[in-house]
Amino acid sequence: MTINEIQDQIIDNFMLFEDDMESRLFYLMDLGKKLPEMPADHQSDEFIVKGCQSKVWLYPVYEDGKVFFEANSNTEITKGLISLLVQIWSGKTKEEILASDLYFIEKIGMGGMIGSQRSNGFASMIKKMKFYASI
């Protein structure tokens, strides 16, 4: 699926919960649980995303001209958040990642769902992934 097809699917899934914030968060945590386990030796301080209140580790793997992301977090909701980005960007080319527009964030009402502090952390994750796609 393309980046935008995945985004549209995420939007559809979140729309099912309408404004039920509790169900949205439970769903987000469930998504986090599905994230493949990150090798322990990649969860070092070097790969911590700065600017997040929770601990978030992000490790890029470059293969066949594509970028794959491994990720983990010490809190379930944040793990759900990073799993959304992994779902969208992992396995795409650097060009696709850098050119993409993450419109799903506004569409699903992310700001209202996670609050301003976590939104800043979420922006830091995006920035870090785009950085990994730029090197």
Partner 1 sequence: MNIQEIRAQFPILHQEVNGKPLIYFDNAATTQKPLRVIEALQEYYQLHNANIHRGAHALADRSTGFFEDTRKVVQTFIHANEVEECIFTKGVTEGINLIAQTWGRKNLQAGDEVLITHMEHHSNIVPWQMICAEKGAILKVIPVLPNGELDLNKLDDLFSVRTKMVACVWASNALGTINPIEEIIQKAHAVGAVVLIDGAQAGSHIPINVQQLDIDFLVLSGHKLYGPTGVGVLYGKRALLEKMPPYQGGGEMIKEVSFEGTTYNEIPFKYEAGTPNIGDVIAFKYALEYVNQLGKDNIIAWENQLLNTFTKGVIGLNQTYGEDAIQLIGTAKNKVAVQSFLLKNKHPFDTGMMLDALGIAVRTGHHCTQPLMKRYEIEGTVRASFAFYNTLEEVETLLAALEKMLKRR
Binding site for partner 1 (CB under 8 A): 19-22, 24-26, 29, 53-54, 74-78, 114-115, 118
Minimal distance, residue 22 CB to partner 1, in Å: 4
Closer residue to partner 1, CB minimum distance, 44 or 53? 53
Residue whose CB is less far from partner 1, 105 or 114: 114
CA separation, residue 73 to residues 5, 21, 42, 47 (Å): 26, 21, 12, 11
104, two tokens = 């799903």
Name the residue nearer to partner 1 (CB basis): 6 or 77.
77
- Residue type (1 letter), 92: K
Nearer to partner 1, 22 or 41 (CB): 22
Report how far residue 2's alpha carbon sits from residue 79's, in angstroms, rounded to the nearest whole number.
22
Shortest distance, position 123 Cβ to partner 1, whole Å: 17
- Look up residue 15 and give its two tokens: 């729309």
User: Could you tell me the smallest distance in angstroms from the CB atom of residue 27 to partner 1?
Assistant: 11
Angstrom distance (rounded) from CA 84 to CA 79: 9
